[in-house]
Amino acid sequence: MAIPQHVIQDTVERYQQRAKIRSSNLRKLDKGKLLEVDTAERVGRRLERLARNPIAANVLTEATNLPTAIIPNDEFRQLVQERILGQNDLMGIAYLEYGLAASHSVCRILLRDRRQNIIGYGTGFMVSPRLMMTNNHVIEKPQTAALSLAEFNYQMGMGGATVPSVTYSLNPEDFFLTSASLDYTLVTVNPSPSAGSGHSTIEQFGWNRLIEDQGKVILGEYVNIIQHPGGEPKQLALRENRLVDLLDDFLHYQTDTAPGSSGSPVFNDQWEVLGLHHSGVPRLDDNGNPLTVDGQLWTPSMGDDRIDWIANEGVRISRIVQHIKQQQSLNQVQRQLRSQLFDGTPPPRVSPYRSSALDTLSTAPAVALPNLDPHGVATWTIPLHVGVSLGNVPQSIAPPAPNTTPTAEVPLPPALPPSPPAFDDAPSEPDSSDGLNLDDWLGDDDSDADLRQDFELLEQLRRGEIVYYDEAADLSDRDDYYRDIAPQFACLSPAERFHQLNQLLEQTHARVLGYRPSAHLYPWVDLQPNLKLRSIYSQLEFSPEQIIQESLRMERLRAERLREKIVKEGLTDEQIATEIELLESLLPYNCEHVVPQSWYNRGQPMRGDLHHLFTCESRCNSFRGNQPYFDFPDYGETIRTDCGKAVGRLFEPESGKGEAARATLYFLLRYPGDINNTSQEYKAESLEVLLNWHRRFPVTEYERHRNGAIARPSRQGTRNPLIDFPDWADQIEFALGLGR
């Protein structure tokens, strides 16, 4: 696809306007002053992200003598500087393998007219299970998309033979979003291939998550581009493209990409998407006319491949993400498809060439990177041999949370029924003909009975047979619950109030629930007034069926993998406990413990206590890790994700502060001494943060619904006093709940 002249002209103008800044950057780079080119803040974020990035840890330790647990010390900083300056180009072989895995989500776009004749080419790449990204100038309108095809595996294999490709039609009716100013288009790809084009579903090619976080690149670093230049077979431009300037919305990098690469993903060395390639900067004569590679005046009839390109421009992916999230006028299907950009976790990025443990993947398409959070654990060394246990299941591998301790008692997983079809693109509000068939998933244990009962409540609510929150009944239950405390509460000291409430909560905890949010949390307890589940930190919404079925599928996978390990390796109880912890980090729950599990050794009844469990996508769960809550003075002025802001050992959520504060204060009342047993948890002064959030964000109908549902003796039996009587918060000595 020829780059429109107005796009090239705008790119040239931006490039010329930044000439002085770019020249200054290049002079510093030429003198080896890499860490002085970019701002200290950006350099710091980049070093921290590298130190905590599992792929960076794997590649760097494979090529150097650095320890596996990478930290941003002087040796690490020196290695990063040498690598970026090209003074040390040693890369572990895993670098190529990860790049090859990332390449499978990149496709050639075939632009066709109404007679189905090919009229041009472009490049695109999958960014979710169903959405493909390319340039606006490649696919400008839905009518163009409806005629176009996405062709995967159009590439040369070993020996020079062309690999059989697979084509898919596009479906702009389900989702089509475009921006001329940011030059991007998002469009749905149909899940099944075109007739006569093989049998692979689109998910098998994986996708690359769009990451809004900062710290993915700094000036002077090399970037990588996977592309179909001029419609040719797929090619990789590896570490030949240096970032020379960073604008508000654009990246400028010196590269040898060719026309037809429009719509290509631009990666860093950790194979995270930095930008969307969209235009080149041509060499100009004194009159501003483009020149050809042999120094002649260029004319459009020569084709773009004759232009002497001196630099290229990509659109910053963080700006595209912001634009996508700002869109309000989306229908139900479109909102769900958009949510998959940020909560639909990609498959693990594994090499198809690893021996032994990966033999079963040797014939499967390589798949894309997981969501690699900047606050992952740098000691992650297993994406190469654990991926086999996941097969082609499209789930992210989140780095395991630090400082976790396995549970002592570990039951052997039960036998499982045959796996039902994978849950794929369920509507946010399924009708009676397209809901969740529990019989395919469940057995007869108590948790499954709870799920069935709660699911029936949900169906009754949808039919209008019951109400979401019965205020009168709940107030009556509340008064009965506190009947022995409320009359004398005002006469007690803050310490006495704490002890009285602690005894009440302990005595009324009628049922200790196992940790199974699919059965105990999602169907009814965590339901919002609009009958959706909402992520506590990002506020993204999901249908209960969507979360439940995905959670049940993950439960099945965890049990299958654990049973396989037990049978093959004869694990001890302690090894089984460790294996369970590892599997839960690899196959994460979409559930957040507002009081992290590592703080109480994952013990019961704390782990299954519903009062501090909330729906949360695994990416936000991983982003928070086990960091304590904090109120950053500059939160509104700094770069953050839709999950919140995490700096060092502190985390401030984007949303859900009131709910999180009240749940944490409840935990202090119910389990005194289990928080603040290490220096990594809350300090006494942290209580004021929680109390301030409690005051600033009042109790909602959603919380009252949760509270009443949890208080049922058949479920758990306890209530949260901070929801029932918000004014009590300033009258209780919560410091008594802290350890040490």
Using one digit for the tens of pLDDT, what is the confidence trace for 368-395?
Answer: 333 333 333 332 222 222 222 222 333 3
Predicted pLDDT at 134: 97
pLDDT at 680 over 70: no
Q: What is the mean pLDDT of residues 196-214?
A: 80
Least confident of 77-91, 440-454, 517-531, 709-723: 77-91
Predicted pLDDT at 640: 54
Does a structural domain hold residue 482? yes
What tokens were used for 196? 């006569």
What tokens were used for 340? 């998959």
d(CA 709, CA 593) in angstroms, rounded, equals 18
Q: At what angle do helices 471-481 and 701-711 cross, to 10 degrees?
A: 50
- Are residues 652 and 429 in contact, defined by beta-carbon separation less than 8 angstroms? no
Predicted pLDDT at 79: 53
d(CA 250, CA 158) in angstroms, rounded, equals 36
Task: Kindly give the pairing relationship between strand 265-267 and strand 533-534.
Answer: unpaired
Nearest to 281 by CA among 90, 485, 17, 83: 17
pLDDT at 456 over 60: yes
Highest mean pLDDT pick, 236-245, 408-417, 590-599: 590-599
Ramachandran bin of 727, using left for φ above 0, alpha for ψ from -120 to 50, beta for the remaining angles:
alpha
Full DSSP string of 129-182: SSEEEE-TTTS-SHHHHHH-EEEE--SB-GGGPBPPPEEEEB-TTT-EEEETTT
3-state secondary structure of 698: coil
How many CB atoms are closer than 10 A to CB 74? 7
Q: What angle do CA 471, 716, 455 make, to 5 degrees?
A: 70
Predicted pLDDT at 513: 92
For residue range 116-162, what is the model confidence (pLDDT) as tens digits? 778 888 999 999 999 999 999 999 999 999 999 999 988 877 655 56
3-state secondary structure of 204: helix
Does a structural domain hold residue 386? no
Highest mean pLDDT pick, 75-79, 98-102, 195-199, 569-573: 98-102
**Which residues fall within 8 angstroms of residue 700, CB to CB, at 6 or more apart?**
658, 659
Does a structural domain hold residue 407? no
Does a structural domain hold residue 370? no
Does a structural domain hold residue 236? no
Q: What is the mean pLDDT of residues 95-117?
A: 87
- Burial (CB < 10 A; 0-12, 13-18, 19+), residue 464, is exposed
Does a structural domain hold residue 31? no
d(CA 262, CA 276) in angstroms, rounded, equals 8
pLDDT at 639 over 50: no
pLDDT at 634 over 80: no
Go through 557-596 and write b for each residue having 16 or more CB atoms within 10 A of its CB, e for each that does not.
Answer: bbbebbeebbeeeebeeeebbbbbbbbbbbbbbbbbbbbb
d(CA 422, CA 440) in angstroms, rounded, equals 11
Amino acid identity of residue 504, one-letter, is L
d(CA 609, CA 516) in angstroms, rounded, equals 10
Distances (CA, A) of 268 to 55, 110, 123, 207, 242: 11, 27, 18, 16, 10
What tokens were used for 147? 């005629």
Predicted pLDDT at 553: 80
Predicted pLDDT at 8: 83
Q: What are phi and psi of 645, to 5 degrees?
A: -125, 130
Amino acid identity of residue 390, one-letter, is L
pLDDT band at 5 (very low <50, low <70, confident <90, very high): confident
* Alpha helices by DSSP H, 241-291: none
For residue range 161-193, what is the model confidence (pLDDT) as tens digits? 567 788 999 999 999 999 999 999 999 999 988
Amino acid identity of residue 195, one-letter, is A
Least confident of 41-45, 500-504, 689-693: 41-45
Residues paired with 314 in a beta bridge: 251, 277
Number of domains in the chain: 1
Compute the residue count for the chain.
740
d(CA 646, CA 659) in angstroms, rounded, equals 19
d(CA 669, CA 698) in angstroms, rounded, equals 20
Nearest to 320 by CA among 275, 369, 279, 278: 275
d(CA 262, CA 249) in angstroms, rounded, equals 17
Q: What are phi and psi of 635, to 5 degrees?
A: -55, -45
Q: Which residue has the higher pLDDT, 110 or 60?
A: 110
d(CA 356, CA 147) in angstroms, rounded, equals 44
d(CA 601, CA 404) in angstroms, rounded, equals 7
- Are residues 589 and 412 in contact, defined by beta-carbon separation less than 8 angstroms? no
For 627-632, the CB contacts below 8 A with 24+ separation are: 627/375, 627/596, 627/651, 628/680, 628/681, 628/682, 628/686, 629/653, 629/657, 629/660, 629/661, 629/664, 629/686, 629/689, 629/690, 629/693, 630/686, 630/689, 631/689, 631/692, 631/693
d(CA 367, CA 303) in angstroms, rounded, equals 35
d(CA 3, CA 11) in angstroms, rounded, equals 11
- Are residues 111 and 138 in contact, defined by beta-carbon separation less than 8 angstroms? yes
Q: Which domain holds residue 604?
A: 438-737
Predicted pLDDT at 585: 63
pLDDT at 720 over 70: yes
Amino acid identity of residue 559, one-letter, is A
Predicted pLDDT at 196: 58
For residue range 13-36, what is the model confidence (pLDDT) as tens digits? 888 888 888 888 888 877 777 667
Least confident of 133-142, 178-187, 219-228, 500-509: 219-228
How many CB atoms are closer than 10 A to CB 4? 16
Least confident of 232-246, 324-338, 397-411: 397-411
Element (H, E) at 668: helix 657-670
Least confident of 325-329, 355-359, 520-524, 659-663: 355-359
d(CA 559, CA 573) in angstroms, rounded, equals 15
What tokens were used for 451? 């799920």
Predicted pLDDT at 55: 58
Q: What is the mean pLDDT of residues 688-703?
A: 96
pLDDT at 296 over 70: yes
pLDDT band at 58 (very low <50, low <70, confident <90, very high): low
Q: Which residue has the higher pLDDT, 673 or 76?
A: 673
Mean residue pLDDT across the chain: 77
Predicted pLDDT at 635: 67
3-state secondary structure of 63: helix
Does a structural domain hold residue 561? yes
% of residues, the chain, pLDDT over 70: 74
d(CA 372, CA 365) in angstroms, rounded, equals 21
Q: What are phi and psi of 457, to 5 degrees?
A: -60, -45
Tokens 């994986």 label which residue?
206
For residue range 248-291, what is the model confidence (pLDDT) as tens digits? 899 988 765 444 488 999 998 889 999 999 888 888 888 888 88
CA atoms within 13 A on the CB side of 400: 21
Go through 12-24 and write b for each residue having 16 or more CB atoms within 10 A of its CB, e for each that does not.
Answer: bebbeebeeebee
Predicted pLDDT at 414: 37
Does a structural domain hold residue 197? no
